[in-house]
Amino acid sequence: MFLTPKSSTAIKLFSWTSRVVSLCKKSVRVSLIWACIRATLTDALYRFFEPLVFRLNAFCTLRSFWYSRWKCFGLVIFSPSLVLIKLYYLLLITYYLLLITYYLLLITYYLLLITYYLLLITYYLLLITSSRVKFSSLNQQEKNVDIFFEIHSELPREAPGNDEATAKALSLVPKLPKNPIILDIGCGPGMQTLALARITGGQVIAVDTHQPFLDELQRRAEEQNLSSQIRTQNCSMLALDFKQDSFDLIWSEGAIYIMGFREGLQSWYRFLKPEGSVAVSELSWLVKNPPEEPLEFFKKEYPSMKHIEDNISIIKQLEYSYINSFILPEAAWWDNYYIPLERRISKLRKKYQNNPQAHNIIEEHQTEIEIYRNYYQYYGYVFYLMQKESKITE
């Protein structure tokens, strides 16, 4: 009677229970049935409240276990409290799992955030450091340029040369018209500009990027009554915007190296009138195998320096007719350039004795002079003369 097959619905359970009760009334074993029902209900109640109070005590647990296992197995199994408990635990586990996942994600998120901010801080620190380095190196570069121009101020000229050499080169220019229009590129303080204006009686446009040189040239032109023939222009040789066919003569002493020998000649060609000429002086090797010391020095200072013959062949490769070339005499190095430069060096040595950067720049100039003193026969400034090819009549 107590092991009636299991039923899953409450209705069945109650109808079965009432049947059991009615039977029990008639049975001598009624007390036993009641005891069993009480045990079942108690057990159900325990189980229902179990999540809240857990086990009341060991006795209750034992009792609950005993009754549910041996006496009232079927009833307890179908108790709705069991389903609720299972559901409750399932939800609880799911909830805690979700909670753990949530906290893990949160920790990961914060770790990533911290990493991100650390990287950001590192990046900005690097940026600040590098910009400081850049800024200080720019500052240093500016200072170096200032020192360079301080060394190169108050000199009669800024490269080897003299009036005799300028006059000689001018005498080699073919078919120069009366009062020619001349462009002097990289004129510096303009010793040759003044000579050109004086000898030809023409108009000279003198360009340079260093305004103090142009101011000095202007001052000298006024002093020598040549200012009406000379116009200075602060402009880079890399950005000349004169009209095509503007000049009878293009002149450049010791300045074409800034663009490169070939590049300069190519670029200036268009400004020449038909039959116009170019005269440039350029530092050149005079021998094929110079000694080690000057070779090393110029590898560093002027790596594209060429042999005199190589420069002549460049002229011939371009749309020019090669006219002539000559080597500047030694005096052209010393009188107006290295001697005044040495005087300037010894003056500035005292001024900058506690400035290692300035000291280095000054000493580099002295080294250059010493190299020339010792090896003047191996290299020199060479005047190259050429004419716009298309109109040559000779």
Beta carbon of residue 148, minimum distance to ligand SAM (angstroms, whole number): 10
* CA atoms within 13 A of residue 213's CA, in its CB half-sphere: 26
Q: Are 383 and 165 in contact (CB under 8 A)?
A: yes
Sign of the alpha-carbon dihedral angle for 92, 94, 98, 104: positive
Q: Are 204 and 196 in contact (CB under 8 A)?
A: yes
Question: Distance between CA atoms of 358 and 364, rounded to whole angstroms?
Answer: 10
Sign of the alpha-carbon dihedral angle for 232, 233, 237, 241: negative
**255, 315, 332, 341: which one binds ligand SAM (CB under 6 A):** 255
Residue 209 is a binding residue for ligand SAM (CB under 6 A): yes
Quick one: 81 or 325, whose CB is closer to ligand SAM? 325
**Span near ligand SAM by CB under 6 A; candidates 37-45, 254-262, 304-312, 355-363:** 254-262
Beta carbon of residue 214, minimum distance to ligand SAM (angstroms, whole number): 9
**238, 296, 309, 367: which one binds ligand SAM (CB under 6 A):** 238
Residue 186 is a binding residue for ligand SAM (CB under 6 A): yes
Residue 197 is a binding residue for ligand SAM (CB under 6 A): no
Residue 248 is a binding residue for ligand SAM (CB under 6 A): no
Beta carbon of residue 283, minimum distance to ligand SAM (angstroms, whole number): 9
Neighbours of 77 (CB within 10 A): 11
Question: Distance between CA atoms of 13 and 9, rounded to whole angstroms?
Answer: 6
DSSP assignment letter at 266: H
Please count the residues of this chain forming the interface with ligand SAM, following the rule CB under 6 A. 21
Quick one: 248 or 253, whose CB is closer to ligand SAM? 253
| β pairing state of 181-185 and 203-208 | parallel
Residue 82 is a binding residue for ligand SAM (CB under 6 A): no
Quick one: 217 or 348, whose CB is closer to ligand SAM? 217
Site map for ligand SAM, 138-167, x if CB under 6 A?
-------------------xxx-x------
CA distance readout (Å), 231 to 177, 182, 207, 208, 226: 19, 10, 9, 11, 10
Q: Which residues bind ligand SAM (CB under 6 A)?
A: 157-159, 161, 186-188, 191-192, 207-210, 213, 236-238, 253-255, 258
